[in-house]
Amino acid sequence: MASKQLSHTLLALGFILFFGAQTALSQTKDQKVLEAKKLALEKEIKDMNRLLIVKKKEKGTVVASLENSQRKIQIREQLIRVNNQQANLLSRQISENEREIQSQKKSLSVLKSDYAQMIQKSSLHSSQENRLLFLLSSKSFYMGYKRLQYLKQYRSYRQKQGLEIAKETKELEAKTSRLTAQRKDKQKLVAANRAEKALLLKEKQGKDALLTSIKRNERQYTASIKKKQKEAQALERRIEDLIKAAIAAANKKSGLKKGGASFVLTPEAKRVANSFTANKGKLVWPLEKGLLKRGYGVYSDPVYPGIKHQNNGVSLATASGAFARAIFEGEVIAIMAVPGGNLGVQIKHGNYISTYYNLSAVSVKKGDLVKEKEPLGQIATNGSTGQTLLKFYLYQNSTRLNPQEWVYNLK
């Protein structure tokens, strides 16, 4: 009877441990995902603090400071959400572990009680004399043999259960230690979130002060917007004009009478184009280290959200002195020089064209064949803001593409 109860108790304990392990595995996976998100967000904030420092005393830097502040607020809000998710996950883990520990304690208590009963009953045959009397009182040799086997098995089973109790006790102690560690981790997360919320409040107050400062000079800001829009439009026209000229020149060289809107590809150019296409989403960044400051497409004005702007490429922030680099093998088809602006490089990859603008100096010339990651020129640092920004554009023939869909992890 005792051995049956013991078996049932062990089975129940086994179920507790099995399902507890399955839940723990699932939660560990969730923890790793959240921890990876948290580290990425913390790195982005760190990079922003390092790469987007604005010389606040310089004239005309307030808008840059505002844009940076808004981006930091977005990232910090995401970080707070991730911290909350981690805290909630830990709360669930703590509750589940507490339930498992209580259930395991009850099962272990029953296991020990059953084991104690088994020890008490087996003590009847514990001495040499009792064992001998038990065997000699058998009615037949066969019964005596069976009793001997029974004594051996019972002793073996008792030893096995003793070891099992020791093992389960050790696992329970380990689970209790993990529970203590989880409670400490949750306390740290709560404290970290409190600190992040304080920083967020400070950044929002700073952003509001910047907005007030800009709105005091609304006319000046409106004029600045119009000027920047004209500069952006002039740059994009220049990029597209150079692409059209490159298509016309290449097709004329190939013997095509009419210019056409697309490159006529040689076998080698077709190979490069096919390889470029196959690497969609895996292309290297156009600079070694940096972060995305402005993504592709329509975005709201930082001061007047009702006003929309269009970014036909992406803007990447990097460290002063950094170089732009080729995202793929190709041929330099133009060195751009925009009046009143900086330099740019255009590279043809089959029928794809990548453009790297805002360079203070270039290290390649038209006609050069470049390899992936080859330096193209030093990125200019703005004298007023102190920021080093690369503007990057991508086209297929004369069709504009979203670089964020092509360059690896550009987000």
Written as one letter, the residue type at 86 is Q
pLDDT in tens, 29-54: 888 888 888 887 777 777 777 776 65
When pLDDT is cut at 50, 70 and 90, the band that residue 20 belongs to is: low
Rg (CA), the chain: 36
When pLDDT is cut at 50, 70 and 90, the band that residue 129 belongs to is: very low
What residues contact 122, with CB distance under 8 A and at least 6 apart? 154, 155, 158
Predicted confidence at residue 327, as pLDDT, reads 97
Q: Which of 27-31, 148-152, 314-318 has the lowest mean pLDDT?
A: 148-152
Q: How many Cα atoms sit within 13 Å of 18 on the Cβ side?
A: 6
Q: List the domains of the chain with CATH numbers.
A: 2-216 (no CATH), 230-405 (2.70.70.10)
Predicted confidence at residue 156, as pLDDT, reads 62
Both ends of the chain: CA-CA distance in Å? 66
When pLDDT is cut at 50, 70 and 90, the band that residue 59 belongs to is: very low
pLDDT in tens, 246-259: 888 888 877 765 55
Predicted confidence at residue 352, as pLDDT, reads 97
Written as one letter, the residue type at 119 is I
pLDDT in tens, 328-359: 999 999 999 887 779 999 999 999 999 999 99
Predicted confidence at residue 367, as pLDDT, reads 93
49 to each of 45, 56, 109, 206, 319, how far by Cα in Å?
6, 14, 56, 15, 11
pLDDT in tens, 99-127: 887 877 777 777 677 667 766 665 544 54
Predicted confidence at residue 277, as pLDDT, reads 97
Predicted confidence at residue 259, as pLDDT, reads 59
CA distance 370 to 328: 8
CA distance 340 to 358: 11
Q: What is the mean pLDDT of residues 19-33?
A: 65
Predicted confidence at residue 57, as pLDDT, reads 47
- Percent of the chain whose pLDDT exceeds 70: 77
Yes or no: say if 197 and 84 are a contact pair by the CB < 8 Å rule.
no
Local structure of residue 292 (DSSP, 8 states): E
pTM for the model: 0.67
pLDDT at position 265 over 80: yes
When pLDDT is cut at 50, 70 and 90, the band that residue 274 belongs to is: very high
Q: What is the mean pLDDT of residues 82-111?
A: 82
Closest CA to 351 of 408, 395, 297: 395
Closest CA to 354 of 374, 380, 382: 374
CA dihedral 263, 268, 272, 277 (to 10 degrees): 60
Give how far the C-alpha of residue 208 lies from the chain's centroid of Cα atoms, to the nearest Å: 30
CA distance 134 to 113: 26
Q: What is the mean pLDDT of residues 285-312?
A: 89
pLDDT in tens, 352-371: 999 999 999 999 999 999 99
